[in-house]
């Protein structure tokens, strides 16, 4: 991505292309404008670019295209430090991705060689009025929390320095991969402050309380191998000549996620995240509820698939508890492939009454988000 001219007083954060045709089944990239943000910046912020790369792939199963989204941070002048403008742009990008049902995995990386993110922009912070500091830190914390709460898998590709808020940004991701040359640490105690972007909470959950305390108390910085040894990152790679070994590994992992059921992956993430915050008994109850949700989506997907490919094999559909509007929408689609669809149990109870007790249990209550339904139907 080209840097902005020093004389430019504004920056447009838009979607850019990345040439990532490394797998035979991957199609050419297509541009999709997730968001476009125009912000007034100072000349020294010339390199404040925030690129969102959308990668369309063809499925191994021949189904509809699935996407990996790469959030690339490029603020070379400030070593990708978290400035007001960068946080505003990142926040808008994350908000746009929250509701995009076609997004399957999100990778966060740096486009600045040797740097992931060095935390808050301390030069900018030093110029702030005391009344501005609190809201600024709160904004960083809120954006990092939003990343942690994204419904799809997130991967941090750490190919360089990840210090302070930069490591907190990575800790908010589900998976972290790093180059052996990367440096990671929560170094805030050197400045007589503490981590303020979730580090005191997420680091202990990642590597254990005792070791997290040791690292925060000492402001120690780990390299990639040390980070892997303590469980801070899942994979460590020898850095390549291009300086993007961690990013390439992140892409490999994202490709592994693609063939899996998207609802199942989202619900699995939800079950794990919520389960980690409660006792085991409550966690198992959360898992049970999430399992039922994933199963219902899987059943509905199979029904629709059967209706498309073998309509004669499915003489009857009855939806219970899906809501009048929702069931009608889905069954209208099913009726395109199968004329023998019944959804009016009240006025047409005969088919239901003919079902034996051992058959009625096969019909499940289904809850689905219909708000994003398009012509091609939902993605299960």
Residues recognised as catalytic? 120, 165, 168, 188
φ, ψ for residue 126, nearest 5 deg: -65, -25
Q: CA geometry: angle at 183 spanning 111 and 185, to 5°?
A: 115
CA gap 164, 157 in Å, rounded = 16
CA gap 169, 142 in Å, rounded = 11
Name the burial class of residue 212, with classes exposed (0-12), middle (13-18) and buried (19+) by CB atoms within 10 angstroms of its CB: buried
Q: CA geometry: angle at 278 spanning 272 and 283, to 5°?
A: 55
CA gap 55, 66 in Å, rounded = 8
How far is residue 176 from each of residues 157, 221, 246, 285, measured CA to CA in Å? 6, 16, 9, 28
What's 15's DSSP letter?
A: B
Give the distance, in angstroms, between the CA of residue 348 and the centroid of all CA atoms in the same chain: 44
Catalogue the long-range contacts made by 138-141 (C-beta closer than 8 Å, 24 or more residues apart): 139/84, 139/87, 139/91, 140/82, 140/87, 140/165, 140/196, 140/197, 141/196, 141/197, 141/198
């Amino acid at each position: 991505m080209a840097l902005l001219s020093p004389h430019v007083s504004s920056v447009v954060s838009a979607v850019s292309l990345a040439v990532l045709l490394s797998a035979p089944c991957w199609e050419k990239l297509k541009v999709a404008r997730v968001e476009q943000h125009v912000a007034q910046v100072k000349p020294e912020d010339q390199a404040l670019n925030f690129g969102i790369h959308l990668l369309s792939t063809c499925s191994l199963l021949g189904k509809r295209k699935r996407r990996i989204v790469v959030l690339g941070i490029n603020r070379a002048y400030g070593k990708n430090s978290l400035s007001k403008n960068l946080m505003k742009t990142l926040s808008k990008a994350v908000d746009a991705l929250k509701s995009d049902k076609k997004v399957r995995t999100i990778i966060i990386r740096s486009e600045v060689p040797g740097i992931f993110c060095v935390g808050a922009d301390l030069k900018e912070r030093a110029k702030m009025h005391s009344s501005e500091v609190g809201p600024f830190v709160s904004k960083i914390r809120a954006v990092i929390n939003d990343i942690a709460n994204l419904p799809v898998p997130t991967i941090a590709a750490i190919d360089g320095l990840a210090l302070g808020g930069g490591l907190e940004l990575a800790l908010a991701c589900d998976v972290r991969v790093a180059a052996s040359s990367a440096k990671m640490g929560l170094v805030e105690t050197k400045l007589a402050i503490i981590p303020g972007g979730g580090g005191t909470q997420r680091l202990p959950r990642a590597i254990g309380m005792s070791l997290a305390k040791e690292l925060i108390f000492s402001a120690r910085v780990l390299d990639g191998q040390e980070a892997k040894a303590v469980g801070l990152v899942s994979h460590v790679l020898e850095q390549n000549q291009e300086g993007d070994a961690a990013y390439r590994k992140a892409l490999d992992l994202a490709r592994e996620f693609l063939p899996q059921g998207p609802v199942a992956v989202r619900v699995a993430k939800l079950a794990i995240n919520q389960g980690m915050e409660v006792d085991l008994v409550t966690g198992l109850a959360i898992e049970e509820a999430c399992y039922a949700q994933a199963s219902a989506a899987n059943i509905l997907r199979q029904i629709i698939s059967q209706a498309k490919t073998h309509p004669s094999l499915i003489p009857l559909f009855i939806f219970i508890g899906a809501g009048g509007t929702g069931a009608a929408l889905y069954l209208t689609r099913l009726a395109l492939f199968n004329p023998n669809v019944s959804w009016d149990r009240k006025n047409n109870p005969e088919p239901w009454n003919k079902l034996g007790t051992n058959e009625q249990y096969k019909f499940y209550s289904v809850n689905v988000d219909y708000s994003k339904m398009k012509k091609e139907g939902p993605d299960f």
